[in-house]
Amino acid sequence: MSEPMRPSQVDVDALLDDPSTHVIVCCGSGGVGKTTTAAALAVRAAERGRKTAVLTIDPARRLAQALGLRELGNQPKQVVEGFDPAGDLNAMMLDMRRTFDDMVLAHAGQERAEQILNNPFYQTISTSFSGTQEYMAMEKLGQLSASGQWDLIVVDTPPSRSALDFLDAPQRLSTVLDGRLIKMLSSPARVGGKGLRKIVGAGFGIFAKAVSTIIGGQLLADAARFVQAFDSTFGGFRERAEQTYRLLRSPGTAFLVVAAPEPDALREASYFVERLAGEQMPLVGLVANRTHPVFAGLAGARATAVAEEVESDGSAPMASAALRVHADRVAIAEREKRLLARFTRAHPDVALVGVPALPSDVHDLAGLREIGRRLAGE
């Protein structure tokens, strides 16, 4: 029987210490510890001398709590209390609406910006349009990188497969705002309806009535005014998004896929790995989070057999219980090894680092430091 394939190890400290590493993106499905991993990487990088900012896109408050902060805002906030690194640590949580507003103010003149910001259609898409959060995450990452204030930016991403939607968001938003339907909706205000009438011909009245019924007459008018005001501004949005996309593909960026050693999470991890490869994004490896390694040499089957022997004479119930706990732990460890080996067979070029589970959830800097040590293999 051939030896199981052994993946190469992710050298986390080498990654953090490398001055050419400027962005680390943690992605993966929900509930696998991306937020904690991102925060732990940022803490360890700061302690090793890097000027670091960590950006969370997940609306949960865990990151702020673990860093000892009451809350995080849309601009990086220095983490001071109980933290005195050689470098520097800053943290923030994406505010989608404020980031969108800032983009409008940056790219439009004062009068046009006011028209856009006060438009009801804009107020709808800036908070609920599909892809807006991911688009704004791209914009915020671009802002942080362009500022040159940080050596390293660590990005936490939304749970589920939408974590990679930020790769599609600029094109998706561009397609919608440049799309035929939006142009048709805006054409009546531009040319007195002639452009739209030309497109739909004799059925214009029926078409206009149908659209108004579906989305509402007022929203139709708002959309038309929004597109007119936004037209000259969107080119700047698209250019910024393309710059950030190039940043994500650059050698200075590193993607880490985070997964729990469970079938569903590893299936999602395979999706992320394949998608990143397809986009030619620089994948560093897989973080197998919350593993349960066993360091004692006693095999599970042997521990169960000894437990049965001890139980037969009833002389040492505590020893019997301990042996059964050990046997269960061995079974879990072996199952996790099989699952990770299956992942490695499917993705032999993906490096791996296992992070043993802590006995309790991480709630403070001490816990983040311990996670950082485990990421580094200490």
The rounded distance, in Å, linking the Cα atoms of 345 and 269 is 14
Are 138 and 245 in contact, with CB atoms under 8 Å apart?
A: yes
Note the pLDDT tens digit of each residue in 268-324.
Answer: 999 999 989 988 899 999 999 998 877 666 665 555 655 556 656 666 666 666 656
Identify which has the larger pLDDT, 242 or 182: 242
Q: Does the pLDDT of residue 196 top 60, yes or no? A: no
Average pLDDT on 51-69 reads: 78
Domains and CATH numbers, the chain: 12-292+331-375 (3.40.50.300)
Q: Does the pLDDT of residue 181 top 80, yes or no? A: no
pTM reported for the whole predicted model? 0.81
- The first and second tokens of residue 88, run together, are 């520097």
DSSP strands (E only) in the chain: 23-27, 51-56, 77-78, 88-93, 152-156, 253-259, 283-291, 352-356
DSSP character at residue 56 = E
Q: Does the pLDDT of residue 234 top 60, yes or no? A: yes
Q: Does the pLDDT of residue 97 top 80, yes or no? A: yes
**Tokens 């705002």 belong to residue:** 177
End-to-end CA distance of the chain: 32
Q: Does the pLDDT of residue 201 top 60, yes or no? A: no
Backbone φ and ψ for 256, nearest 5 degrees, come out as: -120, 125
210 Cβ contact list (under 8 Å, min separation 6): none
* Sheet containing strand 352-356, strands side by side: 77-78, 88-93, 51-56, 152-156, 23-27, 253-259, 283-291, 352-356
Quick one: which of 339, 254, 215, 255 has its CA closest to 27? 255
Highest mean pLDDT among 70-79, 129-138, 160-169: 70-79
Confidence of residue 13 (pLDDT cuts 50, 70, 90): very high
Q: Does the pLDDT of residue 62 top 60, yes or no? A: yes
Note the pLDDT tens digit of each residue in 114-136.
Answer: 888 888 877 777 777 666 777 78
